[in-house]
Amino acid sequence: MRILVIGRGGREHAIVWALKRADPAREILCAPGNAGIAQLAETVPIGEMEFDRLVAFARERAVDFVVVGPDDPLAAGIVDAFETAGIPVYGPRKNAAEIEGSKIFMKNLLRKYGIPTARYETFTDYESAKAYLDAQPVPIVIKADGLAAGKGVTVCFTREQADEALRDTMLNKSFGSAGDKVVIEEFLEGQEMSILSFVDGETVVPMPAAQDHKPVFDGDKGPNTGGMGTYSPLPHIPQSVIDTAIETIIRPTARAMVAEGRPFRGVLFAGLMITKDGPKTIEFNARFGDPETQVVLPRLQTDLLEIFQASLEGRLDRVDIAWSPESAVCVVLASEGYPGSYPKGLPIEGLDRVSEEEALVFHAGTAEKDGRIVTNGGRVLGVVGRGADIRQARERAYAAADRITFQGKMNRTDIAAKALR
């Protein structure tokens, strides 16, 4: 079996690891990959958005199956391109990936079908947005409509922060064209929760819940990032709350996409807030989350490829998907300056001091230079500890993370602490 995984981050490293763990004989290719992925798969220097080259490469190498990791190529229609070429591919088509590609589309879908979410309005010009913003209480949330590498959301606690965020998004183009349109949204209070689900049309198979830590600093302080760490399961959140979120948000959204002529096939990621009024939707993503994937896939006991193939063949509802009862905690090691500008090319030491029995190390932003592994991104590594409970998994993750060093390394020290209070 020859599988092509598309992407270069920690999520893709976890996907490659899970596919290889289930069957070491599989030949896995990854475009473009990173230094960690290169230890498990053949990496190919083709970018995620080079659809013609990717399709041609898949034909040339007689690839049997394609898995798409990141959001940008999904939103741009990479699945449609592979389907047109007759190559089996896992992920949502372009019209379904719009649930992540446009926050305005997503919010309007939820409003139309009565699915719980925060109150909001959408705007295409700065003056109208500013007039509305001035009439709203703070805290308030400002979201760029398009894809912004997980960073297009600003939670504003003061009037000054709100004015600055709107200016930066719409006028200064801090998120590029993603900020041409904005959503201004009610601030929701409560605990965040992520639920990823394997979805094929109206068939929804939820994965174990996880919780991400978006702000860069301890105590949820500082600007939002792509995610500084995560853990699964969530022992402090009742299963009844998780079940409510699945039945009132995720399943109805899958049905709504079918009703809109945009049936979703792939991984549907629900970012949720558990409010005093019950779970509400913060966002939907059209792919595996990062770094949620790094704690969910190590708990998967069923062959990931079997799940992917069942989805493509319309028999996802007949696959028995099993999960380990163990806990997993991921601590992200980031470059100094992230999520702003940061250096690259700094040597990473200590990777050889962490065995897979102690912790899994998923590479997010790394490269190989002169035979050494160096930093090549804002989020550099995701260190995953596993254990009988969150406390043990957390201790193992931090013990391993402490053995890995590079100049300017930074990480939060409170990942999963909410589960231990």
pTM of the model: 0.95
Residue showing tokens 């201790």: 395
Neighbour count for residue 103 (Cβ, 10 Å):
26
Model pLDDT for residues 61-109, shown as the tens digit of each residue? 999 999 999 999 999 999 999 999 999 999 999 999 999 999 999 999 9
Two tokens, residue 29: 């290719």
Q: In whole angstroms, what is the distance from residue 147 CA to residue 98 CA?
A: 10
Report the Cα 414 to chain-centroid distance in Å. Answer: 20
Q: Which domains does the chain have, with CATH numbers?
A: 2-93 (3.40.50.20), 125-180 (3.30.1490.20), 191-318 (3.30.470.20), 327-420 (3.90.600.10)
Q: What is the pLDDT along the chain (421 residues), one digit of tens a residue?
A: 999 999 999 999 999 999 999 999 999 999 999 999 999 999 999 999 999 999 999 999 999 999 999 999 999 999 999 999 999 999 999 999 999 999 999 999 999 999 999 999 999 999 999 999 999 999 999 999 988 876 788 899 999 999 999 999 999 998 999 899 999 999 999 999 999 999 999 999 999 999 999 999 999 999 889 999 999 999 999 999 999 999 999 999 999 999 999 999 999 999 999 999 999 999 999 999 999 999 999 999 999 999 999 999 999 999 999 999 999 999 999 999 999 999 999 999 999 999 999 999 999 999 999 999 999 999 999 999 999 999 999 999 999 999 999 999 999 999 999 999 8
Contact partners, residue 237, CB within 8 Å, separation at least 6: 191, 193, 209, 274
